[in-house]
């Protein structure tokens, strides 16, 4: 009689209930008498329609695929298999592409790595293997970033200094990872002097005051759906990509009758719940006969086109500032801090994963206060 052999898996897929009704998926890893937990930043959302159900099925497939890959990695390390010996012969761009595909949940990270690959291929058309990446190669890439141009809103422009820093840091991250995986013995960037590395330039974050938001709301703008979406962002802080993806199913009433917004942020893949204020609700288009799966701001134009036309509206409202859609998010953050909200609360409202990101807005408010105090003339 054949007996079924049961193999005990070292990794189990589990879930944790969140306050917003979603289930956060994580891996429960037990090996060598040690237990570890790894949260996947994947979420099972409450199912209100067929689309939600299908999305949850896809999320579970992805989570199980990650689990299977982790089991293979654990078993290989346990039995001493090392597949990294020959990776030094890989092209740098191939290695970065492999890193980008390892964690499908980090979409923003993957996009950044793919952009880095694009620039590395423009800089080095033939490609260079990992083992041949040296100090001179990296210095050459830094010079490339300083001088090259790329298309931005249909115009060829030099790469912004802060974007250069972003690409450089991502390259540094990838080379450090190669050291951790025993592919490289040293990161060649460590041999470069700090003064030769690209430096971040301090930039002023434009935002609108409450009076300026009022002026915009009273000023006619030919694109009504864009006007509503921009003002909606001013009052709730959502990014353009999340507003474009927003459906009526994402808006639900809680037990007290207050409308709550529940979404999975595209940039961070974090699930957030936001209570919507009356001013935000005023900007919502009439639902009419729309289905729950329909977009709220149907017909909203792309971010690039949006930023081109917003300046006209601002000029008509008498606002002499460079306005982009993201200014609405900055405006919401500074408004909340100015009105007395604490940093932690504002970070949660914005969906920030790191409170240090939110502290930038606190500094902006402090600078505004200092400028206001400086306006007081000598009286005595």
For residue 205, being part of any structural domain is answered with no
Label residue 373 by pLDDT band (50, 70, 90). Answer: very low
83 falls within a domain: no
For the chain, helix, strand, coil in percent to 5 are: 50, 15, 35
- Out of 196, 224, 250, pick the residue that ends a domain: 196
> Rounded to whole angstroms, how far apart are CA atoms 168 and 171?
5
Phi and psi, residue 256, nearest 5°: -90, -5
Question: Do 188 and 236 reside in the same domain of the chain?
Answer: no
Q: Identify which of 133, 123, 246 has the alpha carbon closest to the alpha carbon of residue 188.
A: 133
Provide the CA 140 distance to its chain's centre, in angstroms: 29
**Amino acid 105: pLDDT:** 66
> Is-contact 60 96, C-beta < 8 A?
no
Confidence of residue 10 (pLDDT cuts 50, 70, 90): confident
Confidence band (pLDDT; 50, 70, 90) for 254? confident
Final residue of a structural domain among 20, 46, 74: 74
Give which of 95, 94, 100, 128 is closest to 113, Cα–Cα.
100
Q: Please report which confidence band the pLDDT of residue 371 belongs to, taking 50, 70 and 90 as the band edges.
A: low
For residues 132-140, average pLDDT: 95
Residue 237 near residue 349 (C-beta atoms within 8 A): yes
pLDDT, one tens digit per residue, over 177-208 is 888 888 888 999 999 998 888 887 765 668 88
The DSSP symbol for 354 reads: S
pLDDT above 50 for 27: yes
Q: Which of 203, 205, 202, 227 is nearest to 217 (CA)?
A: 227
Give how far the C-alpha of residue 9 lies from the chain's centroid of Cα atoms, to the nearest Å.
33
Structure tokens at 282: 């005023």
Whether residues 239 and 265 share a domain: the answer is yes
- Residue of 370 and 92 predicted with greater confidence: 92
C-alpha span between 173 and 182 (Å, rounded)? 14
Mean pLDDT along residues 2-21 = 76
Q: Residue 253 belongs to what H/E stretch?
A: strand 251-253
Average pLDDT over residues 16-22: 84
Determine, yes or no, domain membership for 287. Answer: yes
Q: What is the mean pLDDT of the chain?
A: 83
Statement to judge: residues 237 and 347 lie in one domain:
yes
Domain extent at residue 323:
210-374
* DSSP letter for each residue of 4-16: PPPPPPSEEEEEE
Q: Supply angle C-alpha 173, 176, 177, rounded to 5.
A: 85
Which tens digits make up the pLDDT trace of 297-332? Answer: 999 988 888 888 898 999 999 998 888 898 998 888
Write out the two tokens for 247: 């459906």
pLDDT of residue 102: 82
Residue 190 shares a structural domain with residue 215: no
- Total domain count, the chain: 3
Same domain, 164 and 240: no
- For 28-62, what is each residue's pLDDT tens digit? 888 767 788 888 888 888 887 887 888 888 889 88
Instruction: Provide mean pLDDT across the span 88-116.
Output: 86
Instruction: Report whether pLDDT(288) > 80.
Output: yes
In a domain, 35, yes or no: yes
Least confidently predicted of 63-77, 233-247, 321-335: 63-77
CA distance 298 to 284: 11
Same domain, 132 and 105: yes
66 plus 142 within the same structural domain = no
Q: Does one domain contain both 145 and 258?
A: no
23, 298, 348 from 250: Cα distances, Å:
16, 14, 18
pLDDT on residue 199 = 85
Residue found under tokens 């790469």 = 159
Residues 346 and 225 in one domain: yes
Name the strands in the sheet holding 11-17, side by side, starting at the edge strand that comes first in the sequence. 11-17, 23-31, 34-44
Quick check: is 337 in a domain? Answer: yes
Weakest mean pLDDT among 21-25, 142-146, 357-361: 357-361
Q: Are 63 and 169 contained in the same domain?
A: no
Answer yes or no: do 333 and 253 share one domain.
yes
Shared domain for 334 and 192, answered yes or no, is: no
In this prediction, residues 71-94 reach a mean pLDDT of 71
In a domain, residue 57? The reply is yes
Q: Are 265 and 239 in contact (CB under 8 A)?
A: yes
Higher-confidence position of 255 and 349: 255
DSSP 188-250: GGGGS-GGGS--PPP-------HHHHHHHHHS--S-HHHHHHHHHHHHH---HHHHHH-BGGG
Q: Which residues pair with 139 in a beta bridge?
A: none
- What distance in Å separates the CA atoms of residue 135 and residue 112, rounded to the nearest whole number? 22
- Of 164, 196, 228, the residue that ends a domain is 196
Structure token digits, residue 45: 């959302």
163 occurs within a structural domain: yes
Residue 158 φ then ψ, to 5°: -70, 155
119 assigned to some structural domain: yes
């Amino acid at each position: 009689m054949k007996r079924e052999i049961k193999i005990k898996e070292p990794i189990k897929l589990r879930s944790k209930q969140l306050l917003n009704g979603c289930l956060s998926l994580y891996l429960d890893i037990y090996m060598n008498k040690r237990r570890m937990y790894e949260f996947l930043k994947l979420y099972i959302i409450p199912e209100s329609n067929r689309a939600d159900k299908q999305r949850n099925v896809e999320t579970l497939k992805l989570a199980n695929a990650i689990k299977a890959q982790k089991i293979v990695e654990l078993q290989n390390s346990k039995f001493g298999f090392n597949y990294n010996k020959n990776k030094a012969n890989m092209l740098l761009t191939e290695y970065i592409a492999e890193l980008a595909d390892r964690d499908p949940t980090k979409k923003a990270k993957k996009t950044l790595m793919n952009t880095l690959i694009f620039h590395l291929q423009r800089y080095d058309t033939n490609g260079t293997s990992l083992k041949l990446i040296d100090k001179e190669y990296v210095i050459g890439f830094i010079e490339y970033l300083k001088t090259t141009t790329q298309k931005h809103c249909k115009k060829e422009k030099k790469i912004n200094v802060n974007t250069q820093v972003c690409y450089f840091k991502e390259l540094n991250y990838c080379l450090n990872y190669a050291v951790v995986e025993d592919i490289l013995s040293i990161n060649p960037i460590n041999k470069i002097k700090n003064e030769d590395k690209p430096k971040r330039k301090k930039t002023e974050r434009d935002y609108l005051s409450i009076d300026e938001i009022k002026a915009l709301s009273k000023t006619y703008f030919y694109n009504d759906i864009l006007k509503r979406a921009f003002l909606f962002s001013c009052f709730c802080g959502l990014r353009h990509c999340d507003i474009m993806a927003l459906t009526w199913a994402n808006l639900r009433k809680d037990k007290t009758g207050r409308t709550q917004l529940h979404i999975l942020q595209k940039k961070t893949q974090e699930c957030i719940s936001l209570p919507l204020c009356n001013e935000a609700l005023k900007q919502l288009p009439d639902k009419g006969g729309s289905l729950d799966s329909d977009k709220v701001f149907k017909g909203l134009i792309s971010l690039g086109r949006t930023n081109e036309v917003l300046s006209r509206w601002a000029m008509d409202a008498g606002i002499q500032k460079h306005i982009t859609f993201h200014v609405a998010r900055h405006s919401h953050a500074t408004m909340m801090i100015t009105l007395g909200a604490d940093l932690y609360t504002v970070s949660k409202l914005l969906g920030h994963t790191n409170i240090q990101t939110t502290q930038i807005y606190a500094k902006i408010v402090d600078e505004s206060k200092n400028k206001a105090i400086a306006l007081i003339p000598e009286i005595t």
